[in-house]
Chain A
Amino acid sequence: MLHFIFRRLLLLIPILFTVSVLVFLILRLGPNDPALSYLRLSQIPPTDEALATAREFLGLNKPLLVQYLDWAGRALRLDFGLSYVTHRPVLAEILYYLPATLELAGVSLLLTLLVSIPLGMWSALNKDCWPDHMTRAFAFFGVSMPNFWMGFLLVTVFSVWLHWLPPMGRGGISHLIMPAVSLALMSISINIRLIRASMLENLHTRSVLYARARGLRERTVIGVHVFKNSLIPVITAIGMHVGELLGGAVVVESIFSWPGVGRFAVSSIYNRDYPVMQCFLLLMVVIFVLCNLLVDICYAAIDPRIRLAGEGNR
């Protein structure tokens, strides 16, 4: 097991290398001149002279490869440079906003699991009856509804009309409800369908038939055997949902003025604050990859066929 984790951590190195090259190049491919952004954000008139000084100062006059190596070398020491806007270290800024995003994404993930697993099971166990129809309609609605639109609808209904929930900002649980719901809706809907399909498949296996023939109660057959087997694809999907939630957080945070990294990243994109964008993208990739590593570990923990692979059969 430790060997497995270690191997996966080693894999992180080529992934991070590739991503860092992509992040660096893609941002530079844009039509904007970072030196120009820098001057604008520092409120210095962009004269030719100022531009030349800024290029010199930011190292933009060197070849692209050298620029990349400079940046990557400092990034290895966790130095991502200074923000063009605040002139403070980028990493410190991002880490300041990160807890709010992790809170939102974490609650959304929890919400996804708590809602989708029971609904998916309910739907599968009542296939082609009204609970199934209702759940499927809900899932269809949820998948089709973009999270920003859902966010606006929620604000209109629960803040503007009913005055039940605060429309923006971070605070207690009441602030968390609408952002988390609009963020989780997509994952919930996808997960419901996934669990339903996987339950239906597992309900008709021979091992379930034999479990019933052994005289197990229906509760045990479904709650233990069908459930545990149906969970395996769901765990895989959770890794994907983490990516979806982090990506979705960028949009949802902007709508609900949630003070997280997503909103910070969006404003840095508007500002063309290059160091912030680079650091944000890299950080998201690290979180995503680590979450998927965690998923793989859970996967091995729940499925002995994976855990024991390589040990050979008796």
Chain B
Amino acid sequence: MSCASVLSIRDLQISLANQSPSNSALVSDVSLEVMRGKATGLIGASGSGKSLTCLAVMDLLPKNLHCSKGEVELIRGTVGDKTPLCCIRGKRAAMIMQNPVSCFDPVFTVGYHLKETLRAHKLDVAKNINRIRSTLAELGFQQPDEILAAYPFQLSGGMLQRIMVSLALLLEVELLIADEPTTDLDVIVQSRILGLIDRLKKEKNMGVLLVTHDLSVIARLADNVLVMHKGRVIESAPVAKLFAHPREEYTKALLSAHFSLYGQDLSGEVHS
């Protein structure tokens, strides 16, 4: 079952809700597949449509945008038909987002966030309290109870990022959407978070959709890579192949820019 698809997007087009799709498409012809236990990377410059694609998967597009074409199939159910979304969001597909401090409600404790999410998915909090503690401990929190009682602004970005991951673990999601999970984090924390995602992918057999503009993140985690440019997927290849033989000019530019900054050959970094 390790090759089963958890997410497949076909010919996705996202455009402004009140205009004709032909002249207002922000994202078009995006097709991608995420397999169980594999990570699909999505790279491209800011504004190339990576995050919009993620939001479309969760059906969380802003009101003025909509999917005008194509379909998103998430674990044998199509997003946008009348399957209750709360059964997919959080329960089957979890998101970890960039700038985690802004993603939590400052007037509630971290524990409240976790518990209300479990409750929203019909999980009994009292029965699961030990699982919450052990999950937090598994993610490297030595004093889970202290973390649960803390307010989001008392924790660091990396800690909150791990809290987001803990929700994915608690709800046993099949798909993890990581939208720039390491932006705003310092290098040591970055490496920890990436290690963590890698572990989830392998141990829990999760599918990961990894959005980033950082090629080293892709090199470390992804199995397949899609390059997005101006709302379109321009290149798609297994990660080693993309780094060794980029086909498109834009991809080449992206790679050489990265090399000139970090001066190393990424193909050596790519995991086997």
Binding site for B on A (CB under 8 A): 205-207, 209-217, 220, 224-225, 228-229, 232, 302-305, 308, 313-314
| Ranked 8 nearest A-B pairs via Cβ | A215-B90, A210-B103, A215-B89, A213-B95, A206-B102, A214-B90, A214-B117, A215-B86
Q: Which of A207, A209, A217, A314 meets B120, CB within 8 Å? A: A217
| Residues on A with beta carbons closer than 8 Å to the beta carbon of B99 | 206
A305 touches B116 (CB 8 A): no
| Residues on A with beta carbons closer than 8 Å to the beta carbon of B102 | 205-207
What is the number of residues of chain B that contact chain A, defined by CB distance less than 8 Å? 33
| Residues on B with beta carbons closer than 8 Å to the beta carbon of A314 | 150, 154-155
B167 at the interface (CB under 8 A from A): yes
CB closest residue in chain B, given A224: B116
Interface centre among B105, B120, B154 (most CB of A within 10 A): B105
| Residues on B with beta carbons closer than 8 Å to the beta carbon of A313 | 153-154
Over the window 62-95 of chain B, the binary record of Cβ atoms lying under 8 Å from chain A Cβ atoms (1 yes, 0 no) is 0000000000000000000000011111110011
A220 touches B120 (CB 8 A): yes
Q: How far is the CB of A2 from chain B (nearest CB, A)?
A: 21
Q: How far is the CB of B26 from chain A (nearest CB, A)?
A: 17
| Residues on B with beta carbons closer than 8 Å to the beta carbon of A303 | 106-107
B154 touches A215 (CB 8 A): no
Q: How far is the CB of B214 from chain A (nearest CB, A)?
A: 20
| Residues on B with beta carbons closer than 8 Å to the beta carbon of A229 | 105-107
CA distance A228 to B113 in the complex (A): 14
Q: How far is the CB of A124 from chain B (nearest CB, A)?
A: 13
CA distance A211 to B121 in the complex (A): 13
| Residues on B with beta carbons closer than 8 Å to the beta carbon of A224 | 116
Q: How far is the CB of A308 from chain B (nearest CB, A)?
A: 7
Q: Which of B107, B117, B151, B153 meets A215, CB within 8 Å? A: B117
Binding site for A on B (CB under 8 A): 58, 60, 85-91, 94-95, 97, 99, 102-109, 113, 116-117, 120-121, 150-151, 153-155, 164, 167
| Residues on B with beta carbons closer than 8 Å to the beta carbon of A305 | 106-107, 151, 153
28 of the cross-chain contacts (CB-CB < 8 Å) are A205-B102, A206-B102, A209-B97, A209-B103, A210-B104, A211-B105, A212-B60, A213-B89, A213-B90, A213-B94, A213-B97, A214-B89, A214-B94, A214-B113, A215-B89, A215-B91, A216-B116, A217-B86, A220-B120, A225-B108, A228-B105, A228-B107, A228-B108, A229-B106, A304-B106, A305-B151, A308-B151, A314-B150
| Residues on A with beta carbons closer than 8 Å to the beta carbon of B108 | 225, 228
CA distance A39 to B73 in the complex (A): 92
B154 touches A206 (CB 8 A): no
CA distance A232 to B58 in the complex (A): 30
CB closest residue in chain B, given A211: B105
| Residues on A with beta carbons closer than 8 Å to the beta carbon of B164 | 210
| Residues on B with beta carbons closer than 8 Å to the beta carbon of A225 | 105, 108
Apart from A213-B58, A303-B106, A303-B107, 14 more pairs, CB < 8 Å: A207-B106, A209-B97, A212-B58, A214-B89, A215-B90, A215-B121, A225-B105, A225-B108, A228-B108, A229-B105, A304-B109, A304-B151, A304-B153, A314-B150
CB closest residue in chain B, given A302: B107
Q: Which of A210, A216, A232, A308 meets B97, CB within 8 Å? A: A210
CA distance A224 to B112 in the complex (A): 11
State whether A210 and B95 are in contact (beta carbons under 8 Å apart), knowing that A217-B120, A228-B107, A302-B107 are contacts in the complex.
yes
CA distance A229 to B102 in the complex (A): 13
| Residues on A with beta carbons closer than 8 Å to the beta carbon of B103 | 206-207, 209-210
CA distance A305 to B109 in the complex (A): 11
CA distance A305 to B95 in the complex (A): 26
Q: How far is the CB of B184 from chain A (nearest CB, A)?
A: 12
State whether A308 and B120 are in contact (beta carbons under 8 Å apart), knowing that A207-B104, A225-B105 are contacts in the complex.
no
CA distance A313 to B155 in the complex (A): 8
CB closest residue in chain B, given A232: B107
| Residues on A with beta carbons closer than 8 Å to the beta carbon of B150 | 314
| Residues on B with beta carbons closer than 8 Å to the beta carbon of A214 | 89-90, 94, 113, 117, 120, 167
| Residues on A with beta carbons closer than 8 Å to the beta carbon of B86 | 215-217
CA distance A210 to B151 in the complex (A): 16
Interface centre among A216, A225, A232, A313 (most CB of B within 10 A): A216
Interface centre among A212, A229, A232 (most CB of B within 10 A): A212
A209 touches B90 (CB 8 A): no
CA distance A225 to B103 in the complex (A): 12
CA distance A314 to B121 in the complex (A): 31
State whether A216 and B107 are in contact (beta carbons under 8 Å apart), knowing that A206-B99, A308-B154 are contacts in the complex.
no
